[in-house]
Structure 1
Amino acid sequence: MERFLDKKYKLKTSDCFEEYMKFLGIGFVSRMSAASVTPVITLSRNDNDSYSLTTQTSLKNTQITFKPGEEFVEERPDGVKVNSIITFDGNNLIHLQTDADKRTSTQVRSYTDTLMTAITTANGWSGKCVRTYEYIP
């Protein structure tokens, strides 16, 4: 993952994102707002061997800080707290979230020099959300 640190990736295409948010129980107005923005995502490493995943939009900026393989409490952009674990596997960042109802979502972010593709699935949801981000120099 070293070569992808501090690189910015901007949303280019999105498929089934609103359906995934609906599955999570996010309200209509919040879904429409979230679907209307074009996030920029950056992964960086901190001095204490933790990492930060930052998402910037015109509505809200978020940042999660984690150590690979260690569980942490994450507050999603909709305000819901979930237990999360993030691991690395080659050029993939694998993000597992479990909410209070024990529903799990998995997001696999696959990095290349020009694209980052985020594929999200969830237990109990038959869909698959695919969002493609383009590297911006």
Structure 2
Amino acid sequence: MEKYLGSWKSQESEGFEDYLKALGVALPLRKIASMQNPRVSLTDDGDGLYTVVTATTFKTHTVQFKLGEELDESTPDGRDVKTVFHLDDEGKLVQTQMLKGEVSSKLAREIIDGKLKITATAGTAVYIRTYVKE
């Protein structure tokens, strides 16, 4: 988890609006969200508890988690989901969001060449955003 800790600012993004559309986000909110350049911070709060904060000029979203433990999350787009974070076999920090018992989206975080890359999927839509450390 150590490699993910810190503050990150958005550098580039592709496929975000299609990803939001696949999640059922309304057009006006998709347009507003697509214009944002988020900053993400991940902190270790001790005792296995972590916090991810995603902040834009439009909205700030905070989620606290322990690896492998399911939690209730209200996503920035208004979905109430069950979420689980875990480290996969490749060391990616994977966040799985389930709606009504089915996976609605999955976000995989990894560090490549010192940058944080998040690959999110919803159905067949894929969204990739790259961040640089602040």
Q: Same fold (TM over 0.5)?
A: yes
Partner of 2:125: 127
Among all aligned residue pairs of Structure 1 and Structure 2, give the percentage whose two residues are the same amino acid.
30
Please say which of residues 81-90 and 25-34 is displaced more in the overlay: 81-90
For residues 52-76 of structure 1, what are the alpha-carbon distances to aligned partners after superposition, in whole Å with 9 as ceiling and x for unaligned? 0111111111110011000111110
Q: Structure 1: which 5+ runs fail to align?
A: none
CA distance in 2, matches of 1:38, 1:30: 15
CA distance in 1, matches of 2:3, 2:110: 13
Extract structure 1 runs of 4+ deviating beyond 4 A: none
TM-score norm. by structure 1 comes to 0.88
Please say which of residues 113-122 and 15-24 is displaced more in the overlay: 113-122
Aligned-partner SS, 1:21: helix
Partner of 1:99: 99
Q: CA deviation at 1:127?
A: 2.6
Q: Structure 2: which 5+ runs fail to align?
A: none
- Given that 1:91 and 1:111 are in contact with CA atoms closer than 8 Å, whether structure 2 keeps it comes out as no
* Residue-pair matches, total: 133
- How well do the aligned residues superpose, as a CA RMSD in angstroms? 1.7
CA distance in 2, matches of 1:4, 1:106: 17
CA distance in 2, matches of 1:16, 1:113: 22
* Richer in strand (by share): 2
